[in-house]
Structure 1
Amino acid sequence: MCGLIGFLAAGAGDPTGTGDLSETDLSVTRQAIADSLVQMRHRGPDDGDTWSDDEVVIGFRRLSLIDWEHSHQPLPYLDGRYHLIFNGEIYNYLELRERLRTEFGAEFATQGDGEAILAGYHYLGERIVTELRGMFTFLIWDSQERVLFGARDWFGIKPLYTYTDERGSFFASEKKALLSVAPAEVAADVNTEALQHYLTLQYVPEPASMHRRITRIDSGTSFTLRPGGEVVLTRYFTPDFPIRPVSEPDKLYREIADALRDSVAKHMRSDFTVGAFLSGGIDSTAIAALAREHNPKLLTFTTGFEREGFSEIDVAAESAAAIGVQHITKVVSAQEMMDTLPLIVWYLDDPVADPALVPLYFIAREARKRVKVVLSGEGADELFGGYTIYREPISLRRLSAAPDPVKRLLGSLSTRLPEGMRGKDLLRRASIGIEERYYGNARIFRPDEMADLLKTYSPQVSYTDVTAPYYAASRHLDDSTRMQYIDLFTWLRGDILVKADKMTMANSLELRVPFLDTEVFRVASAIPVDQKITRETTKYALRRALAEIVPAHVLNRAKLGFPVPTRPWLQAEMYEWAREIIVSAGTGHLIDTAEALKLLDAHRDGPHDYSRKIWTLLVFMVWHGIFVEGRIKPEIPQPVYPVAI
C-alpha cells in the first residue's frame, strides 16, 4: 500500500496555450510536492520519489509488497511516454499481464502489478479499469497525448482527494498532503454542510470533505484531465442487484464458497507474510480459515479492552483454535484510548466518530510487528445482508402496509411516548417511508437535537440530500436490498473502509478485503432477499455456504465487531478528559459549548446513554484543533518497520 500525490498545471495566462509552468513555478511546485510526501510517509516507508515535466509533477511513497526490488514509482512505460503512480493491489495482475502479452505482444520490465495497469491502459485505453480486480487509486500521465488519466476502485477501498486552484489540479491519497500545498485559508474553510451531515451520520459523506475546497473522487469512477481543462468524470461501475430466483439452493451455496475461495487465494498474493484480523464472528473467521489453506502458519490478530463485557479476545481465541491458526492479542486501556485519539484523528484526515477506530489502530500496530499484510472481513454485511437493521422491513411489513391515516396516527402517538420507552422508535419508523427512515447504520443527532447544538444548523440540509440519488436509482429493488444499496455508497465507503484504510496505513500495514471483490459481488448481488434475511437470522445464504469452512460454533454467532466501552468510560475514567476537550475547543462558533457540556453531564448522571453523541462531538473538536486551529499537534511517529518481514 502506498501514498501518491499528483499535480497538473492549469495553463492559465500562458499565451502559448501549452500549460507550461515557468521554471521557477515548476521548481516551487516540485518542492512543495516533495515536501508533502512527508505527510504520507506512514503509507510508504520503504522508498519514495518524484518526477516532473513541463506540466506535471507526481510524487510517491511506497510500501513494497510485490516485486519489491523493482516496480519503483513513479513508474515509466514505453520509453517514458507514460508515468504511473498507483496505490493499491491488482489481484489478477498475473492473468492480466499474460493476456496483454498474448493478445498484444506487450513487454514488461518488472514483475509487478503497476506495469500491468500501464500496459493495459496503452492497449485497452480507459476501459482497463473494468479489467482490474483489486483495490486501487492511480494516476497515469501520457506525455504524448498530454492527458492525465486516473481512477478509483469499484467500492472505494482506497481514498483519492482532489483540490484545484489557479495553479492547477492536485490529487492525493491523503488530504493532509493537499493541505500542505494549499494556501492557509483552505484549511480554515470548514464545510458546515458536511459538518451537519457528520453529526447525523458520524462520517462525512462522499464526495465532500470537512474542508469546503477539498473533495474526493467517487468510488467506481475514472477521470481525464488536460492542461487548462476541467476534470471529466466517468462512472465505470454502478452497483446493481440483478436478483434471480433460486431453484437449486445448494448450487448457490457452492457458488458463494467457490467465489470466496478464489478471492482469498488471489488476495494472498504477496512477496511477504500475510496475516488476518480475527474478531471471532463468521466473516473474519471465514477469511482466516480460507487463508490458512494457503498458509498453515497463518497469524491472526484481535483486540479487547480492560473491561468485562467489552472484549472479544476469548471468543476470537476460541475461533483461532478451532481453525488451527496462531493468535496474537492486544488489550487496550482507557488511558491509551485517550492518549492516542489526537494521533488517530490526524491519520484520519476527516473526522469519523466510530469508536472502533481505536482498537483497530492498536491491533494494526501489533500486527505490523510481524506481517506487512492482513486480510479482513469488511464488506460481507453489505453484500450478503448481514446487518440486523436489514430485517426491519420484515418486522414493519404489517404496520407499513396500513393506510396513510393510520400511519400518521402511529407517528403522532410516538411523539407522545417518553424518551427511551420501548416501542417509541418502532412506531415512529413505521409511520414513515424507507427513504426517510433509513440513511445508514449510524444515526447520531436528529434534526431537532441539532437545532440547539449546531450554530450553523440549516433545516434546508437533510440526510435525504445524501441518500436521495441512491434511492432513486434503486426503485426496482425490495426495501431490504435498497438498504444494502444505500450502504454501499454511504456507510461502507464513509465509515467502514475509511477506518480500515487509515488505521492500517497509519501503521504501514496493508489491509485487504476479499469480500469486496468483483467476482464475489457478482455472486452476492443476485441473491434474493429470502436467501439473505429471515426472521431468525441474517446472511442466510452465506452461512450455508460456509458450513464446511467455518466451525459450527461460529456459524450462527451474533455479529461482534470490536465493541468499545465508551458508555461506562465517559461516565467515569474519561469524564474529565472529555470535559477538557469540550471546554478548550475552538469550535464555539460552530458547536454550542454549553449544550455539549450539558449532554456530557446528562450522560454521566444517567439513565440515558449519550456516549455516541458525545464521542461524535469529541472527535470533531479534536479534528478542528488539529486541522483548523493548529492548536493540537500530535507527535507523529517515524515509521520504523523493516522493509521485509
Structure 2
Amino acid sequence: MCGYMSFISTESLRDERVDQVREGMKQCRHRGPDDTNIWHDEHTCFGFNRLSIIDIDNSGQPLKWGPPETPDRYWMVFNGEVYNYLELRERLAAEDGAVFYTEGDGESIVAGYHYHGAEWVNELRGMFSFVIWDSQEDVAFGARDPFGIKPMYMAKVDDGYVFGSEAKSLRALTGTAQVNVPELQHYLVLQYVPEPASMDQDLSKIESGCSFTLTNGELTQTRYFHPDFQSIPVNNTREQRDLYDRILEVLDDSVAKHMRADVTVGAFLSGGIDSTAIAALAKRYNPDLLTFTTGFKVDGYSEVDVADESARAIGVEHITRWVTEEEMTKTLPLIVWYLDDPVADPALVPLYFVANEARKRVKVVLSGEGADELFGGYTIYHEPLSLRPLERLPHLLHRGLAAVGRALPDGMRGKDMLRRGTLDMEDRYYGNARIFREEQLPGLLRTYDPNISFHDVTDPIYAQSKGWDPVQRMQDIDLFTWLRGDILVKADKMTMANSLELRVPFLDKEVFEVARHIPLSEKLADGTTKYALRKALERVVPPHVLHRRKLGFPVPTRVYLRGDSYAWARDIILNSPTDEYINPQAVMKLLDEHRDGVADHSRQIWTVLVFMLWFDIFVAGTVTPEVPHPQYPVRL
C-alpha cells in the first residue's frame, strides 16, 4: 500500500531532519508511486509514498484525524490494509460516536486508538505497520500485524527515533550500513536475518505482533499477539466434517474480505494447493479474475503446466512469465537493493518477475503464503514421528549411534537421520533453512564466534511452547523465524518493488483461530501434510492439485552454477571487498566443487553471493544497481 517514514524528535525538530525524511522517501518511491507527502510539527516529521487501493481520491497520508473537539490531534502513517475496516467504522460510530472524514481504512485504526487505547490493535484484521502521533500528549504509538506481513524498521539517533518501511530510507539519517557481525553468522546458517535484528548494526525491526509507545524519549515495546496452538480432539466423523466445514467457511470469509479494494485484484497461481485454493475462492467474488505464474524452461524447475491446468479448471484468465538465466544474473543486484537485508531465497527472482508482469494488469494480488505454517504443511513436520524409534533407545545406545553418525562421511545415506535422531528437538530443529553447518563456518567466516548459535534465536521461542506436541512446537518456530524472516520478507519486498500490493488470506487472525486448534491427527495423516485443509478444500480445488506436492516458484540455481552462471558467480566472489568477513578461497572451493559435480553447494554459494552483493551495494558502494522509476497508473 505504501512506504513511510516517521521521525520522532526528543527535542525541537531540526530542519535537516525534514530534509532527510524527504530524501529517505525517495529511496522507497516504488512502494507508493501515486502520491508523496511530508508533514511535520515542532517535534515530528512524517513522510508518505502512497499506493492508492481504497478510497483512491480522499485517503491520502499522513492522515490527520481527531474527534470534533480536537480535529487536528492525531497524525498517522500506515502501510497495509485493515480488511474489517467497514465493520470497525460502523462499531466505532455506533458505540463511541466516532466521526469519519474519509471512506478509507486508516481512520478505523486511529479512531479506535483514541477511544480504546493500545488494546485496539487486537481488533484489527489485516496486515499493517503504522505510527500514530498524538500531538496533544506528545506520545507516539505504533504496531505491526500479528504475523509480520508488513515491515517496520527503526533506529535510534542522537535526537530521537526514526521508523520506516525500508532500511534504505532510514539510512538518510543513520548513514552508510555497517555489518552486524553476529547476524552475519546467523544469516549464513538460516539464509535470513532473524527479527528483531538487521544486517545493518545501526538498524533493527519492530517485531511482528508487537506494538510500541514512545514517551519522553523512552521506547517501550509490548507483544500483543501470542500464537497459542492448543489442539481440540476430533473424535468422530461428524466432528471431522464440522472441522472441514469451519476451515472452508473461515477461509472463504477471509478471501472475501481480502478482495475489498477500489482497484483490480488478481492472484498468483503456482502448482500447489494453497495458491490454487485462494484463486478458486477469489473467483467467486471476481468472475474476471486474472492469475499469474512464472517458471524457468529447465526440466524439473517449472510448475507452469500444472498452473495452466488449474487455471482452466477454475475458469480464470492466466498469464505466464518465463524467466531466463541471463535475467536472473543481471537482475539479482537490483533485487538485493530492494530487499534491504539479505535473504538468500532464490525464489525471490521469479517472484520479482511475476510481480512485474502482474503489475501491468492489476494493482493487488492474492497469494497462498502461510498455509504451511498454520495447517502443518511442511514435510519436515513428519520428522518427530519418523524419529520416535530412535528416541526410545536406551541412553548408551543413543550415544553410540550419535558417534557412528559423526564418523560417517558427508553425503552417505542415513548420516543425517542418525545425527538428527540422536538430538533433542531444541538442538535439531531451527527452521526450514539450514545452509551452513556449524563445523563449516570457521573456514568460511573470518569473524566466526563459537559462542554464537542458532539457539540464540530459537531458545526463547521454544521456551514459550513447552507442553505442546512436537509439530506444534515446530510450527511455532516457523512462525517466528522462517515465515517472518524469509517468506513474508520476499513477498513484501518483491511485490512492492513493482508497486504491487500482495495479500495473504491464510494469514488472517480468524483463520489462525481455527487452525491453532487442529489436532496432530488432522495435520499429518494418510502419508500427507495439511490433511484437514486438503479435506476442507475438496469442494474447491481441482483433483490434480489436491494431493500434489508443490514446488512453488523453483529456481534452477544448481543447474545454472554448473554452466554459464559459474563465471558470473566467480566474478562476484573474487571482486567483492568482503575479505574482512568472508574467505573467498573457501567460497571458490565450494563453487569449483559444485561445477565439477563433486557436491551440490548451490544453496551455500547463493547465500554468500547475496551477502556479497548486499555488502557491495550498501556498505562498500562498489555496486550501484540502476533502479527503474515507477510509472504506473493510479487506477487499474
Tell me the TM-score range normalised by the shorter chain: over 0.9
Counterpart of 1:251 in structure 2: which amino acid?
D
Q: Does 1:252 align with 2:240?
A: no
SS of alignment partner, residue 7 of structure 2: strand
SS of alignment partner, residue 571 of structure 1: coil
Q: Which one of the candidate residues 17, 35, 45 is aligned to 1:29? A: 17
SS of alignment partner, residue 148 of structure 1: strand
- Tell me which residue corresponds to 1:556: 547
In structure 2, C-alpha distance between the alignment counterparts of 1:602 and 1:204, rounded to whole Å = 27
| Mapped contact 2:234–2:519 kept (Cα < 8 A) | yes
> 1:354-387 deviations in whole A, cap 9, x for unaligned?
0000000000000000000000000000000000
- Tell me which residue corresponds to 1:620: 611
- RMSD across aligned C-alpha pairs, in angstroms? 0.8
| Mapped contact 1:290–1:549 kept (Cα < 8 A) | yes
SS of alignment partner, residue 411 of structure 2: coil
SS of alignment partner, residue 628 of structure 1: helix
SS of alignment partner, residue 251 of structure 2: helix
Q: Does 1:59 align with 2:51?
A: no
- Tell me which residue corresponds to 2:211: 222
In structure 1, C-alpha distance between the alignment counterparts of 2:418 and 2:464, rounded to whole Å = 28
- Tell me which residue corresponds to 1:400: 391
Cα offset for 1:553?
A: 1.4
Cα offset for 1:535?
A: 5.6
In structure 1, C-alpha distance between the alignment counterparts of 2:23 and 2:590, rounded to whole Å = 42
Counterpart of 2:247 in structure 1: which amino acid?
I
> 1:41-91 deviations in whole A, cap 9, x for unaligned?
000000010111111111100000000100110010122100010000000
- Tell me which residue corresponds to 1:379: 370
- Tell me which residue corresponds to 1:463: 454
Cα offset for 1:607?
A: 3.1
| Mapped contact 2:289–2:316 kept (Cα < 8 A) | yes
Where do 1:588-627 residues align within 5 Å? 588-627=579-618
- Tell me which residue corresponds to 1:325: 316
- Tell me which residue corresponds to 2:164: 172
Moved more, 618-627 or 240-249: 240-249
In structure 2, C-alpha distance between the alignment counterparts of 1:534 and 1:403, rounded to whole Å = 29
Where do 1:325-364 residues align within 5 Å? 325-364=316-355
Counterpart of 2:62 in structure 1: which amino acid?
P
- Tell me which residue corresponds to 2:98: 106
In structure 2, C-alpha distance between the alignment counterparts of 1:521 and 1:37, rounded to whole Å = 34
In structure 1, C-alpha distance between the alignment counterparts of 2:20 and 2:428, rounded to whole Å = 46
Name the TM-score, length of structure 2 as normaliser.
0.98
- Tell me which residue corresponds to 1:286: 277
- Tell me which residue corresponds to 2:81: 89
Where do 1:95-244 residues align within 5 Å? 95-184=87-176, 187=177, 189-227=178-216, 229-244=217-232
| Mapped contact 2:174–2:202 kept (Cα < 8 A) | no
Counterpart of 2:97 in structure 1: which amino acid?
G
- Tell me which residue corresponds to 1:48: 36
In structure 2, C-alpha distance between the alignment counterparts of 1:574 and 1:302, rounded to whole Å = 24
Identity level (%): 62
Cα offset for 1:182?
A: 1.5
Counterpart of 2:82 in structure 1: which amino acid?
I
Which ranges of structure 1 fall in alignment gaps of 5 or more residues? 11-18
| Mapped contact 1:277–1:374 kept (Cα < 8 A) | yes
| Mapped contact 1:391–1:534 kept (Cα < 8 A) | no
- Tell me which residue corresponds to 2:507: 516
| Mapped contact 2:6–2:45 kept (Cα < 8 A) | yes
Which ranges of structure 2 fall in alignment gaps of 5 or more residues? none
- Tell me which residue corresponds to 2:61: 73
Corresponding residue pairs, total: 629
| Mapped contact 1:20–1:55 kept (Cα < 8 A) | yes
| Mapped contact 1:140–1:150 kept (Cα < 8 A) | yes
SS of alignment partner, residue 619 of structure 1: helix
> 1:582-604 deviations in whole A, cap 9, x for unaligned?
00001001000111111100111
- Tell me which residue corresponds to 1:5: 5
In structure 1, C-alpha distance between the alignment counterparts of 2:473 and 2:243, rounded to whole Å = 22
> 1:16-54 deviations in whole A, cap 9, x for unaligned?
xxx323xxx2x2111110111000100000001011111
> 1:555-574 deviations in whole A, cap 9, x for unaligned?
10112211110001001110
SS of alignment partner, residue 558 of structure 1: coil
| Mapped contact 1:276–1:374 kept (Cα < 8 A) | yes
Q: Does 1:578 align with 2:566?
A: no
| Mapped contact 1:2–1:87 kept (Cα < 8 A) | yes
Cα offset for 1:410?
A: 1.3
SS of alignment partner, residue 218 of structure 2: coil
Structure 1 segments, 4+ long, off by >4 Å, are none
In structure 1, C-alpha distance between the alignment counterparts of 2:393 and 2:498, rounded to whole Å = 53
